[in-house]
Amino acid sequence: MPVKSITTTPYDGQKPGTSGLRKRVKIFQQENYTQNFIQATLDAMPSPGAKESTLVVGGDGRYFSTEAIQIIIRVAAGNGVSKLIIGKNGILSTPAASNLIRKRKANGGILLTASHNPGGPDNDFGIKYNVSNGGPAPESVTNLIYEYTKKCNKYHMCDMPEIDLSKIGVQTIDGFTIEIVDSVNDYAQLLKEIFNFEQIKQFFKNNPNFKVLFDGLHGVTGPYAERIFVEELGLSRSSIQNCTPLPDFGGSHPDPNLTYAHSLVERVERENVNFGAASDGDGDRNMIYGKNAFVTPSDSVAVIAAHAEVIPYFQKTGVKGLARSMPTSAAIDLVAKKKGLEIFEVPTGWKFFGNLMDAGRLSICGEESFGTGSDHIREKDGVWAIVAWLNIIAAVNEKRPGVGIKEILLEHYQIYGRNFFSRYDYEEVESECANKMVEHLRHLIGVGKDDFIGKTFGQFTVKEADDFEYCDPIDGSVSKNQGVRIIFTDGSRIVIRLSGTGSQGATIRLYVEKYSQNVSEYESDTQEALKPLIDVALQISKLQEFTGRAKPTVIT
């Protein structure tokens, strides 16, 4: 096939954020915008580079995905890529893509998703590059992509007819191979190797009144849920809802939290559902929520770590170490301490866990943003987390029948204490206002530090404060300015950082955490328990003064 080199002009702002490049669809639709970014991505691929490489391609099926895949096919061919493995109709959940990259020993993958951001012609699209371990590219690679975008004045492509993405099979055009694969098979196989499906099925059989409801929020996990929950685990079809992937997610946010998964929340409460769960647009997030029992993601990963020995995968590999992102509560740290395991605190973003997993030092990790996972792949994994909980419940019930989500949580608090945790998001704040607030905070903890440490706000006295910096223990790379932390003498904590996944203005994230070993508090309402700390966070940050916002957009 003849290669054409097309002249183009670099675009500003093609800098990958926490998890790839995310912008409005309209921005990606600009002339050569997507082509430029793909060219820069291929140019930045780690050695031996794009030529003769194999790449996995797929995404959450959001609006503009199929157009983007046709562009990727042509630009990949133009750059001498030898093979693309593409999910049928362009569909691959983020964890399924990570698994395929590993299983097929591909050199990397291009994931088309903006995760939990809304989709459709007026909403978001995203492109993320994953490396050969199946995980998101590290900052060294994403920085290089950005550098290439700034000088991208040519891209290479081959003219070819549109490829039919709906037909499973292999086609080779002039030495360039395109393989369309079933989106679900390999992933379903993986989960069957990890968990005790027989035990879970048996539990459902023994407990016909145990109600389960999974909500796909019209994201990518629908077909995965149907295969795993209905076909493999034998639940009824009415146990899953919103499981048809839609390019605009039915017009809502495919974000599994109490605000955006409202239809699940209502049904769980109204129909006394024992086990409710949801996943996000690209299938890497999860929410676990039963009647009167919401599991915070920080608690969820701690519970999974505490019960890991009932999961066949960990029986085989052992638990090598635990980790969390910095803003995530320290509940998992307490499990690590009790079990004598290494614990790591990394910046926000799953890419920071990959090196630790590759080095054999990390098995289970999580983020407060509804991300939970393990070293079975190199992405967080929504369906994995949900099946992990089912496996734990099934195993615990063999010894103590009648135990559900709430009992497991309360037992956990009795052993480890409770880390109350909440996050306030202020979305689409004017960037200038958000930056001024951050400057104010950096001043407090920088030049003003001597005055700030030891100061008392309400019942809290400042013990330490910094802007989180991480040195990767494996490759020594340093990531600075990852969020302002203010730690009080009683161990309570405030973290403030700006989001790196938004596509419009700035999103301020405020995280608060308070630890309690007071048994009478274990069933308290999170927002009530944290109210005094939140007041202090707002006072210190002057958030309302800087942004004019009296209330957050979302509380999780």
Query: What are the angstrom distances between the C-alpha of 265 and each of 249, 262, 277, 296?
Result: 18, 5, 9, 14
> Is there binding between residue 60 and Co ion (CB under 5 A)?
no
Sign of CA dihedral 237, 238, 243, 248: positive
The minimum distance between CB 509 and ligand VG1, in angstroms, equals 6
Residue 371, binding choice from ligand VG1, Co ion, none, Cβ under 5 to 8 Å by partner class? ligand VG1
Q: What does the alpha-carbon distance between residue 385 and residue 390 come to, in Å, rounded to a whole number?
A: 9
The minimum distance between CB 116 and Co ion, in angstroms, equals 5
Q: Which of 18, 36, 65, 286 binds ligand VG1 (CB under 6 A)?
A: 18
How many CB atoms neighbour CB 302 within 10 A? 29
Give residue for tokens 């492509």. 157
> Is there binding between residue 123 and ligand VG1 (CB under 6 A)?
no
The minimum distance between CB 423 and ligand VG1, in angstroms, equals 8
Query: What are the angstrom distances between the C-alpha of 479 and each of 46, 138, 202, 346, 493?
Result: 20, 11, 47, 9, 21
Residue 298, binding choice from Co ion, ligand VG1, none, Cβ under 5 to 8 Å by partner class? none
CB neighbours of 48 closer than 8 A, spacing ≥ 6?
A: none
Choose the stretch contacting ligand VG1; rule: CB under 6 A; options: 96-104, 180-188, 204-212, 363-371. 363-371
8 Å CB contact between 247 and 208: no
Residue 501, binding choice from ligand VG1, Co ion, none, Cβ under 5 to 8 Å by partner class? ligand VG1
CB neighbours of 200 closer than 8 A, spacing ≥ 6?
A: 233, 387, 390, 391, 394
Which of these, 146, 222, 210, lies nearest to 183 by C-alpha position? 222
Choose the stretch contacting ligand VG1; rule: CB under 6 A; options: 157-165, 217-225, 395-403, 497-505. 497-505
The minimum distance between CB 57 and ligand VG1, in angstroms, equals 17
Residue 500 phi, psi (nearest 5): -115, 20
Closer CB to ligand VG1, 333 or 367, in the complex:
367
Choose the stretch contacting ligand VG1; rule: CB under 6 A; options: 294-302, 365-373, 402-410, 458-466. 365-373
The minimum distance between CB 505 and ligand VG1, in angstroms, equals 13
> Is there binding between residue 102 and ligand VG1 (CB under 6 A)?
no
The minimum distance between CB 134 and ligand VG1, in angstroms, equals 14
Closer CB to Co ion, 93 or 274, in the complex:
93
Which of these, 115, 109, 446, lies nearest to 284 by C-alpha position? 115
Residues linked to residue 156 through DSSP beta bridges, in sequence order: 5
The minimum distance between CB 262 and Co ion, in angstroms, equals 19
The residue count for the chain: 556
**Residue ranges in 22-163 assigned as alpha helix (H):** 25-28, 33-44, 65-78, 94-103, 139-150
Residue 350, binding choice from Co ion, ligand VG1, none, Cβ under 5 to 8 Å by partner class? ligand VG1
The minimum distance between CB 97 and Co ion, in angstroms, equals 12
Q: What share of the chain is helix, strand, coil (3-state, %, to 5)?
A: 35, 25, 35
8 Å CB contact between 59 and 98: no
CA 106-112-117 angle, to 5 degrees, is 140
> Is there binding between residue 115 and ligand VG1 (CB under 6 A)?
yes
Q: Which of 115, 149, 397, 479 binds Co ion (CB under 5 A)?
A: 115
Q: Which residue is nearest to ligand VG1 (CB)?
A: 115
8 Å CB contact between 394 and 196: yes
Residue 369, binding choice from ligand VG1, Co ion, none, Cβ under 5 to 8 Å by partner class? ligand VG1
Closer CB to ligand VG1, 43 or 284, in the complex:
284
> Is there binding between residue 19 and ligand VG1 (CB under 6 A)?
yes
Closer CB to Co ion, 115 or 241, in the complex:
115
Q: Which residues are catalytic?
A: 115
Q: Which of 284, 368, 375, 472 binds Co ion (CB under 5 A)?
A: 284
8 Å CB contact between 374 and 356: no
Q: Which of 89, 149, 369, 547 binds ligand VG1 (CB under 6 A)?
A: 369
Residue 375, binding choice from ligand VG1, Co ion, none, Cβ under 5 to 8 Å by partner class? none
| DSSP assigned state of 81 | -
In Å, how far from its chain's centre is CA 8? 33
Q: Which of 43, 255, 282, 299 binds Co ion (CB under 5 A)?
A: 282
Residue 80, phi-psi category: left (phi > 0), alpha (psi -120 to 50), beta (remainder): left
The minimum distance between CB 74 and ligand VG1, in angstroms, equals 26
Q: Which of 43, 124, 215, 280 binds ligand VG1 (CB under 6 A)?
A: 280
> Is there binding between residue 367 and ligand VG1 (CB under 6 A)?
yes
Q: Which of 256, 349, 373, 552 binds ligand VG1 (CB under 6 A)?
A: 349
8 Å CB contact between 138 and 20: no
Q: Could you list the residues that contact Co ion (CB under 5 A)?
A: 115, 280, 282, 284-285
Q: Could you list the residues that contact ligand VG1 (CB under 6 A)?
A: 18-19, 115-116, 280, 284-285, 325, 348-350, 367, 369, 371, 499-501, 509
